Every structure is written in structure tokens, then in C-alpha cells.
């Protein structure tokens, strides 16, 4: 899974959570990432299905869904 962050800061602390279709938390991490860079999340341990990615940066929150085949 790839994503790009765009903020005004050079580096940003990101809280990342992945939930399955039933709403269960299946992955969580806090990391410091460079803005504008392509970032990756290793999802090889997750079975096929529908998931929801939640990224929190300060007071901002982003939600995206994805399908793992």
C-alpha cells in the first residue's frame, strides 16, 4: 500500500490505523515521515478483503478504503 503526504512541514508525525470490513483494528503504527515522499505500508500479513486506512496528522484525519487481493 502506497500513500503520499503533503503538509507544510518537512517531517510529520503520522498515526496510521488499518481496520477490516467489520471495523476491527488489524494494524496500527506511529511514524515520522517526510512530506511529499511516497510512503509504504506492508500489508502482506493481511488476508484478502476490504480495509479502511486512517491517517491522523495533528488535528487532521484522512480515511480511505482499499481492497487487498
pLDDT digits (tens, 9 = 90+) for 4-61: 766 666 777 889 999 999 999 999 999 887 777 777 888 999 999 999 999 998 888 9
Taking CA atoms, 58 is separated from 1, 18, 21, in Å, by: 22, 18, 26
Residue 5: the pLDDT is 65
Q: Is 15 left (phi over 0), alpha (psi -120 to 50) or beta?
A: beta
Residue 16: the pLDDT is 92
Residue 8: the pLDDT is 62
- Taking the C-alpha atoms of residue 64 and residue 47, their distance in angstroms, rounded to an integer, is 18
- Taking the C-alpha atoms of residue 8 and residue 23, their distance in angstroms, rounded to an integer, is 31
Whether residue 57 contacts residue 7, with contact meaning beta carbons closer than 8 Å, is answered with yes
Across-strand partners of 59? none
Residue 21: the pLDDT is 97
Q: Say if residue 65's pLDDT is above 80.
A: yes
Amino acid at each position: 500500500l502506497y500513500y503520499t503526504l503533503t503538509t507544510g512541514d518537512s517531517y510529520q508525525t503520522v498515526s496510521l490505523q488499518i481496520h477490516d470490513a467489520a471495523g476491527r483494528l488489524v494494524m496500527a503504527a506511529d511514524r515520522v515521515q517526510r512530506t511529499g515522499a511516497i510512503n509504504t505500508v506492508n500489508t502482506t500479513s493481511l488476508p484478502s478483503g476490504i480495509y479502511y486506512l486512517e491517517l491522523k496528522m495533528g488535528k487532521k484525519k484522512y480515511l480511505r478504503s482499499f481492497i487487498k487481493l
